[in-house]
Amino acid sequence: MATITKQEALYALARVGELAVAAGQTVQLLLVGGGAMMLRFNARLATKDLDVVVLAPTGSVAVRSWAAQVAAELSWPEDWLNDAAKGFVVGSSALGQVFASPGITVSIPATEQLMAMKLCAWRDDVDISDARRLLSELAGNQRDVWNRILPYLYPGRELTAKYAFDDLWEATHAGP
């Protein structure tokens, strides 16, 4: 499997919730990256994995185990649901729920926080496309929008993010 569609992601997340219920647990996930772009913004048809921060249960051992079981059931890679991005989530923002099923809730951070992560990564056309989509969701002038993004920037990546933001703003807000 090269990618996960929205429908496949929703099924797999619901299945993780079923496994959590069977264990007497409830899973709470914070979804970032391509999964957030797909589930909240319909910005892409598929993603290669779902990057999450496990908010509950404490620690991610149980969630990893349930995700591995789902991977085996669907013949997916074990890392389809992973917390590799957790170190890049800076600060805490208002959460917006994007999925709920028995045993599981999935939220995403504020658009400003997702934007900060995309600007700090700034790896390829996918990040640029995602950032362009996120920017379209943020009202205000350039300075106001930047100031709302600033608290969520990953330390050491501020300058990269600022240059990326300025270029993106100019490209999307330039007159004819």
- The number of helices, as runs of H, and strands, as runs of E, in the chain is 7, 7
Calculate the dihedral angle through the C-alpha atoms of 45, 90, 52, 108, rounding to the nearest 10 degrees.
-60
Out of 109, 131, 148, a domain closes at 109
- Domain shared by 74 and 132, yes or no: no
Q: Calculate what percentage of the chain has a pLDDT beyond 70.
A: 98
Out of 55, 88, 109, a domain closes at 109
- Domain shared by 93 and 168, yes or no: no
Specify which residues 108 forms β-bridges with.
Answer: 96
CB neighbour list of residue 80: distance below 8 Å, 6 or more residues apart:
4, 12, 49, 50, 67, 70, 71
Q: Are the C-beta atoms of residues 120 and 160 closer than 8 Å to each other? A: yes
Tell me how far apart the alpha carbons of residues 162 and 71 are, in angstroms, rounded to a whole number. 38
Which residue range forms the structural domain that includes residue 116?
112-173
- Domain shared by 96 and 137, yes or no: no
- Domain shared by 88 and 40, yes or no: yes
- Domain shared by 83 and 94, yes or no: yes
pLDDT of residue 64: 95
- Domain shared by 119 and 162, yes or no: yes
- Domain shared by 32 and 93, yes or no: yes
CB neighbour list of residue 50: distance below 8 Å, 6 or more residues apart:
4, 9, 13, 31, 33, 34, 35, 80, 81, 82
pLDDT of residue 158: 95
Nearest partner of 19 among 102, 105, 106, 78, judged by Cα? 102
Out of 92, 109, 126, a domain closes at 109
- Domain shared by 79 and 157, yes or no: no
pLDDT of residue 2: 74
Tell me how far apart the alpha carbons of residues 145 and 59 are, in angstroms, rounded to a whole number. 34
- Domain shared by 28 and 64, yes or no: yes
- Domain shared by 16 and 53, yes or no: yes
Q: Structurally, how many domains does the chain consist of?
A: 2
Q: What is the pLDDT of residues 36-45, one digit of tens each?
A: 999 999 888 9
- Domain shared by 105 and 153, yes or no: no
Q: What is the pLDDT of residues 85-133, one digit of tens each?
A: 888 899 988 889 999 999 999 999 999 999 999 999 888 888 899 999 9
pTM over 0.85: yes
Query: Quick check: 29 pLDDT over 90?
Result: yes
Exposure string (b/e) for 83-115, b if CB count within 10 Å is 16 or more?
bebeebbbeebebeebbebebbbbbbbbbbbbb
- Domain shared by 87 and 117, yes or no: no
